Structure 1
């Protein structure tokens, strides 16, 4: 199937690449299917909607923030059909700035994907910042 993207133009994807987000993404409830497309020569990936040109730049937060940790709630584990950690991919949405050093990553709302069932959900946590500087090695926890 062909999709239209802002970054790559019209591209061909196969059905096995599509991740279903039954609840959509917060702020984008009608965007229910995405593909993850690595961006060549960068550490970033594009989380590209299948039905529109909506896309998000994402990273694997664990590659940047070694102390980042959270528990996936049981209802989300059940909804996504997660059997174990080997099928879970975690992404964090970036806010890229003209000066890359000013870019931030949303640590409060990771995107959780079951790579086996190809289902995903953006999980909203209350323990991390929405605008974490990407080049700060330790995630900043919110003060309770």
Structure 2
């Protein structure tokens, strides 16, 4: 099948590739099916593209190369909702707020996107009781000399 996307135009895909978000995303509860598409050749950035709404695509990245100390624990309800059997089946993304210039781009560490890659189920998890916020600089600013 083909779907229209925000950043890639018309894309050929299979329904098996879709990641189901049973509860949607905060602010987009009606959006249940997404496709994760590469957005950079080096595998650093991705697009979480809505299958039903062509103009809805979020830029994502794996947070761990940028924030090696980033750590959180999923509560039992989330583990059950994602039908997780092994942590090997988990991929974590953070939603980016793109900026111009690009080095001012920020990452939302307070609400990671967690995906069960085996079952193709996703959820945006809102972390509470942490110091993580919605806007962490993706790139460390160089100090002026």
What TM-score, normalized by structure 2, do the two folds share? 0.90
Partner Cα distance (2:17, 2:140) in 1: 32
The aligned runs of 1:121-132 (5 Å cut-off) are: 121-126=123-128, 127=130, 128-132=132-136
CA distance in 2, matches of 1:79, 1:44: 26
Query: C-alpha displacement at 1:41, in angstroms?
Result: 3.1
Aligned to 1:141: none
Q: CA offsets, 1:81-115, max 9 Å, x none?
A: 10111000101000010101111000000001001
Name segments (4+ residues, structure 1) moved above 2 Å: 40-43
Alignment of 1:133 with 2:137, yes or no, is: yes
How far 1:64 sits from its partner (Å)?
A: 1.1
- Identify unmatched segments of 5+ residues in structure 1: 138-144
State the shift of 1:17 in Å.
1.0
Q: Where in structure 2 are there 5+ consecutive unaligned residues?
A: none
3-state DSSP of counterpart to 2:103? helix
Structure 1 range deviating more: 84-93 or 7-16: 7-16
* CA-atom RMSD in angstroms: 1.3
Contact 2:6–2:49 (CA under 8 A) maintained in structure 1: no
Q: How many residues align?
A: 137
Alpha-carbon offset, residue 49 of structure 1? 0.5
Match of 2:37 in 1: 37
Question: In structure 1, what is the equivalent of residue 67 of structure 2?
Answer: 65
Q: Distance in 2 between matches of 1:40 and 1:110?
A: 20
1:75 aligned residue: 77
Q: Secondary structure at the match of 1:62?
A: coil
Q: What secondary structure sits across from 2:24 in the alignment?
A: coil
Residue 48 of structure 2 is matched in structure 1 by 47
